[in-house]
């Protein structure tokens, strides 16, 4: 039985649940090591082996280390609809575990999900799917345990840390290739395309990787970089000018394991002011990473960078939190918010992986952000996963 299955089954025992049903790709990856291309499901009973339901073409993606049973459905046009296939297969898997009424946890109420490698059509099981389940499993009641799934995902296994390190290496390579190609006159979208293309071209096949994709958002000049703190970013057709700040937000996955990285470059020679702000942001990140300790509370983290930047005169221009968890998606718990806004003050533990992203955004001048992913290692300290050059 895998470590992850044991963790799930301990939770089921504590909550007096008969099983856990995971439907979303990122959660199936968390529970089994298999990252679905399309509709799939994982059922973990309170005791015994888990059952993984996959489309036949995805059999090649199921890891050899998965110790449960694998059941497949066909994807040809003449077969039943996908949801019905999964419901029928779950009926068999669940029915074999117990003849009595069952209480099954599920990830029913996740509202933000990580994209699949297909990207354009992420499948989110909704009311019709659960209606099918209730029809085929009338003796089962489904209870949402999304909050526990989020919490359990915070702690990565050693194998998952290795996978996240591989993602970081692919991203580091793409940034190292793209940096010399930045030149005045190119469009933001051109630089974004170089980075995204390199992640896919280099990433697929790197250290056995089967799937890799990056989503690069390039913002340049005073206006675009100053607004790069917003809830979402976008690359435009703006031509990058000589001396412009160029802020890159890069979210990438390799076989479903995500990184979240930011770099700020200058197209040409950096000015004294650009170097001054960059140094403040860089030093605040370095200070934060060096201060991270296993056993501390996450509410402590944001203040380290915020107090530093405030002392440098940039406190009002640090417009977001210091960071968040990363792994099965590029934003996940725990969120490293200021103390007054931390929803659950978790203890920092080994194998947590964080994105640490201080930034300064000055209206009319521009913005600088440096974001790196770190893992809490067995020594109780933070170790950088991402190593791409941070300089301007």
- Which pLDDT score, from 0 to 100, does residue 220 have? 98
Q: Which of 45-54, 338-347, 381-390 has the highest mean pLDDT?
A: 381-390
- Average pLDDT taken over every residue of the chain: 93
**H or E segment at 82?**
helix 82-95
DSSP 314-359: -GGG--S-SEEE-SSSSSEEEEE--GGG-SS-PBP-TTBEEEE--E
Q: Where are the domains of the chain?
A: 3-153, 158-384
- 52-70 pLDDT, tens per residue? 999 999 999 999 989 899 9
CATH architecture of the domain covering 158-384? Alpha-Beta Complex (3.90)
pLDDT band, residue 96 (cuts 50/70/90): low
Which residues does 252 contact at the CB level (< 8 Å), separation at least 6?
Answer: 167, 170, 171, 174, 199, 203, 212, 213, 214, 215, 258, 259, 261, 330
What's 3-153's CATH class? alpha beta
- 97-127 pLDDT, tens per residue? 655 788 999 998 888 888 888 877 777 888 8
Average pLDDT, stretch 313-335?
97
On whether the CB atoms of residues 27 and 328 are closer than 8 A, the answer is yes
- 192-219 pLDDT, tens per residue? 999 999 999 999 999 999 999 999 999 9
d(CA 376, CA 374): 7
- Which pLDDT score, from 0 to 100, does residue 1 have? 39
Residue 126 structure tokens: 């909704």
Q: Is the pLDDT of residue 18 over 70?
A: yes
- Which pLDDT score, from 0 to 100, does residue 340 have? 84
Residues 144-155 as b/e (b if ≥16 CB within 10 A, e otherwise) read ebbebbbebbbb
d(CA 92, CA 16): 22
């Amino acid at each position: 039985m895998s470590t992850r299955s044991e963790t799930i089954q301990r939770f089921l025992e504590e909550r007096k649940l008969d099983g856990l049903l995971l439907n979303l790709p990122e959660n199936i990856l968390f529970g089994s090591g298999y990252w679905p291309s399309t509709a799939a499901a994982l059922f973990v009973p309170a005791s015994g082996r888990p059952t993984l339901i996959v489309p036949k073409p995805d059999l090649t993606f199921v890891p050899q280390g998965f110790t449960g049973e694998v059941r497949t459905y066909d994807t040809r046009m003449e077969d039943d609809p996908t949801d019905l296939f999964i419901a029928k297969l779950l009926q068999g898997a669940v029915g074999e575990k117990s003849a009595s009424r069952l209480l099954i946890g599920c990830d029913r109420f996740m509202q933000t999900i990580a994209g699949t490698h297909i990207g354009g059509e992420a499948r989110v099981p909704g009311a019709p799917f659960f209606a099918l389940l209730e029809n085929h499993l009338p003796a089962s009641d489904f209870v949402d345990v999304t909050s526990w799934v989020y919490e359990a995902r915070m702690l990565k296994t050693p194998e998952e840390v290795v996978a996240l390190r591989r993602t970081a290496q692919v991203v580091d390579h793409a940034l190292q290739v793209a940096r010399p190609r930045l030149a005045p006159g190119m469009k933001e979208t051109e630089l974004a395309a170089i980075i995204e293309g390199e992640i896919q071209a280099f990433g697929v096949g790197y250290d056995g990787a089967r799937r890799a994709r990056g989503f690069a958002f390039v913002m340049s000049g005073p206006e675009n970089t100053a607004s790069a703190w917003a809830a979402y970013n976008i690359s435009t057709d703006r031509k990058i000018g000589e001396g412009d700040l160029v802020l890159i937000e890069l979210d990438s996955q390799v076989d479903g394991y995500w990184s979240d990285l930011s770099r700020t470059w200058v197209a040409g020679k950096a000015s004294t002011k650009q170097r001054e702000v960059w140094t403040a942001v860089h030093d605040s990140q370095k200070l934060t990473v060096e201060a991270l300790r296993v056993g501390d509370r996450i509410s402590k983290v944001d203040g380290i960078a915020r107090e530093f930047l405030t002392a440098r005169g940039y406190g009002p221009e640090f417009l977001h939190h210091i960071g968040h968890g990363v792994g099965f998606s590029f934003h996940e718990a725990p969120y490293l918010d200021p103390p007054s806004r931390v929803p659950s003050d978790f203890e920092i533990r080994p194998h947590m992986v964080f994105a640490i992203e201080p930034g300064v955004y000055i209206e009319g001048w521009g913005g600088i952000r440096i974001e790196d992913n770190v893992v809490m290692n067995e020594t109780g300290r933070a170790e950088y996963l991402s190593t791409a050059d941070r300089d301007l």
